[in-house]
Amino acid sequence: MKILLISPAVDAEQRTNKGLMMPQLALYILEGLTPPQHKVRIIEEEAEDIDLEQECDLVGISCMTANAPRAYELCREFKKRGKTVVLGGVHPTILPDEALQHADSVVVGEAEGVWEILLNDFRNHRLKQKYHDPTPDLEKYVPKDFSKVTNGGFFRLIPVMTTRGCPYNCDFCCVTNLFGRKIRHIPIENVVRDIRESGAKKFMFLDDNIIGRPKYAKALFKAIKPLKIQWVGQASVSLLVKDDELLQLAAESGCKALFFGLESVSEEQLRSMRKSIGEIEHLEKALRKIKKMGILIHASMVFGFDSDRREIFDETVGFLIKNKVSTVSFNVLTPYPGTRVYDDLKKENRLITTDWRYYDHNTVVFKPRNMTPYELQMGKVNARKSFYSVPSVLKRSWGNLYNPTVYFATNYGHMKQVQAEAKRMKKLRSGLFKKQHD
């Protein structure tokens, strides 16, 4: 049997800068779960075009909310050609009935525990509409062919995951819908095996919080230290700076950069999100402590909370430049279906659109409380432009010279994306924001 696995682009006509592409893992797990008698081909549409006429028996498509419309479009095209299509990923997990309007079957949640059953059912002409295992076994090793990973550019990071689940259940996050609130571990020996068998030296841990269980994290860092790799990941600021041993072990194991969901520099908003570091002064000390260990900081900021006013943009950029943060993702609050934010905004009739293409962290899809949608959109765009301006990059470089190559390479990549965003805004001004401009 020939199986085609696809990760769609959000827009088939406009691709992401390859140097900034996030490495995919889900499709490689599916390939590893597939019995060897079947032939699997993986296509990441961000990196290569999809031939709708290619020969295959089964098509599996994994999507998030923003690329769900493109996934549904592909479903229609493949079904026109007589193919059976299965959908999975975050969006089909949250809205399986919507996904079933386009596909023959939906995998809800994780694929372990159901993928082989699905393949057998398909071969025996008894494919079910939904497959779901709420507590899949993560003990069994799943082989992965990392030679097919397509994220390019200077970094080419190999994706690895060590834990699943997040206990925080933030109002604007849908991770718990996919992985649950309980943190579950992949055996450390399996993680080490992934690293060894990849033959690579640069990795990205895709965990929502790689230090969510400090005891496990410490054991993991000790196990990978002898491998002499370099890695980046996502972690909680508060947990990391409260445990000196954990921070030291992370640095010694090869940690070069960490993604932190700072979200806001508003103390009122930090407290409302139940952040354990609620005061800006404490947050600044935490960032300095991490930087002293030679770890670059990538912060994620979110604009559009109900407490945000027009001043938040300049305040945020000023804070980030002052603290010489290495790189930043500037996002607008996105009310993903399945989150409390979505439910609240829908009840208050504040949603502008439910066209999922715009649910991408970058586009305002709701009516903010203290500004217009257009003001929020342009505030975010201008904040990103200001932070990645040449003067800002040079000023922040003095706090990042412990890893100058990565610092300048990543900032250059983001500067190119700022230019691409400016072109995208022209389309939004004539489309989504045409009636919101005032």
Does the domain formed by 2-132 have CATH 3.40.50.280?
yes
Question: Does residue 436 carry a pLDDT above 60?
Answer: no
Least confident piece of the model among 22-26, 98-102, 254-258, 419-423: 419-423
Pairing mode, strands 130-132 and 230-235: unpaired
Least Cα distance to 250 among 228, 227, 225, 226 occurs for 225
3-state SS assignment for residue 140: coil
Question: Does residue 242 carry a pLDDT above 80?
Answer: yes
pLDDT in tens, 113-167: 999 999 999 999 999 999 999 889 899 999 999 887 766 555 688 999 999 876 6
Query: What does the buried/exposed string (b/e) look like for 138-167 if buried means 16 or more CB atoms within 10 Å of the residue's CB?
Result: beeebebebeebbbeeebebbbbbbbbbbe
pLDDT in tens, 329-341: 999 999 999 889 9
pLDDT in tens, 287-337: 999 999 999 999 999 999 999 999 999 999 999 999 999 999 999 999 999
Helix segments in 293-333, DSSP class H: 312-322
Read off φ and ψ for residue 296, nearest 5 degrees: -70, 145
Residue 425 has a pLDDT of 72
Residue 284 has a pLDDT of 87
Percent of the chain with pLDDT over 70: 87
Once rounded to an integer, what is the mean pLDDT over residues 392-410?
Answer: 93
Question: Does residue 388 carry a pLDDT above 90?
Answer: yes
Percent of the chain with pLDDT over 90: 71
For residues 337 and 279, the model is more confident at: 337
For residues 346 and 135, the model is more confident at: 346
How deeply is 181 buried, as exposed, middle or buried, from its count of CB atoms within 10 A (0-12, 13-18, 19+)?
exposed
How deeply is 11 buried, as exposed, middle or buried, from its count of CB atoms within 10 A (0-12, 13-18, 19+)?
middle
- Residues in a beta bridge with 86: 60, 105
Q: First CA to last CA across the chain, in angstroms?
A: 56
How many angstroms separate the CA atoms of 106 and 75, rounded?
Answer: 12
Residue 13 has a pLDDT of 75
Once rounded to an integer, what is the mean pLDDT over residues 281-286?
Answer: 84
For residues 267 and 283, the model is more confident at: 283
pTM: 0.89
Question: Does residue 438 carry a pLDDT above 50?
Answer: no
Once rounded to an integer, what is the mean pLDDT over residues 419-429?
Answer: 70
Across the chain, mean pLDDT equals 89
For residues 402 and 176, the model is more confident at: 402
For residues 58 and 208, the model is more confident at: 58
Domain extent listing, the chain: 2-132, 146-430
Read off φ and ψ for residue 210, nearest 5 degrees: -65, -20
Residue 156 has a pLDDT of 80
pLDDT in tens, 32-70: 999 999 999 999 998 889 999 999 999 999 999 999 999
Once rounded to an integer, what is the mean pLDDT over residues 7-27?
Answer: 76
Task: Kindly indicate the confidence band of residue 437, based on its pLDDT and cuts at 50, 70 and 90.
Answer: very low
Question: How would CATH label the architecture of 146-430?
Answer: Alpha-Beta Horseshoe (3.80)
Pairing mode, strands 202-205 and 184-185: unpaired
Contacting residues for 382 by C-beta, under 8 A, at least 6 apart? 313
Question: Does residue 217 carry a pLDDT above 50?
Answer: yes
Least confident piece of the model among 201-215, 230-244, 263-277: 263-277
Once rounded to an integer, what is the mean pLDDT over residues 211-240?
Answer: 93
pLDDT in tens, 348-380: 999 999 999 999 999 999 999 999 999 999 999
